[in-house]
Amino acid sequence: MRKIGLILLCLFALYVAYLYITGKRITYLIPKGYEGVLLIIGNQKEGIEINKSHAIYDFTKSNIIKLKGDLITGFSPWGYLNYYEVDEEGNKEKIETINDEVEYAADVKGDKIYIWSYYYEIGSCEVKSNGKTNYEVIVVGKKKNVETFAIEKQQLVNKEICNKKAPN
């Protein structure tokens, strides 16, 4: 019985190692000081091609990126999902991720910019001219501004993707 447990443990370790080695690396480049909503739209005719094994989403010129293919989704091992602030010289500084709602994020420094994964969203909607479109939305900002960006997130999705009238 102990041998079966050991074999199962070894198989699990190999599986985790396999996921880590073959996992998709995704890097987000965000302009230094940017606060707001970032949007990635999949399956767009005028979109860009990305490397599926190491996607780099460069938001330094626009807060919206359109892809020719579908979004990269699924399991990304620890450390393979990275967000960086990029200054005008191209220097990168890692942005920390917060997993809680704003009201529960007690350890957050008020003047620091974070990625708010609580407000992260992957979705899809029907668009008359293009069929079904998938999207990814990310909220970046200081604690005091996050609630505003959460509202702007849905307005941007409605305006840019779903062609619905944005809520007032």
What pLDDT, on a 0 to 100 scale, did the predictor assign at position 30? 97
Answer for the pair 113, 141: CB distance below 8 angstroms, yes or no: yes
pLDDT in tens, 33-91: 999 999 999 888 888 998 877 889 999 999 999 999 888 765 555 557 899 999 999 99
Residue 166 banded pLDDT, cuts 50, 70, 90: very low
> What was the pLDDT predicted at 124?
84
> What is the helix (H) or strand (E) element at residue 22, kind and residue range?
helix 2-22
Please write the tens of the pLDDT for every residue from 95-137.
998 887 777 677 777 789 988 888 888 888 876 555 678 889 9
Residue 41 to residues 23, 44, 113, Cα–Cα distance (Å): 22, 7, 24
CA dist 125 and 36 (Å) reads 22
Q: What is the pTM of this model?
A: 0.78
Q: Return the H-helix or E-strand segment holding 112.
A: none
In the chain, how many H helices and how many E strands?
Answer: 2, 10
Is pLDDT of 26 > 70?
A: yes
Q: What percent of the chain has pLDDT over 70?
A: 84
How crowded is residue 134: how many other Cβ atoms within 10 Å of its Cβ? Answer: 17
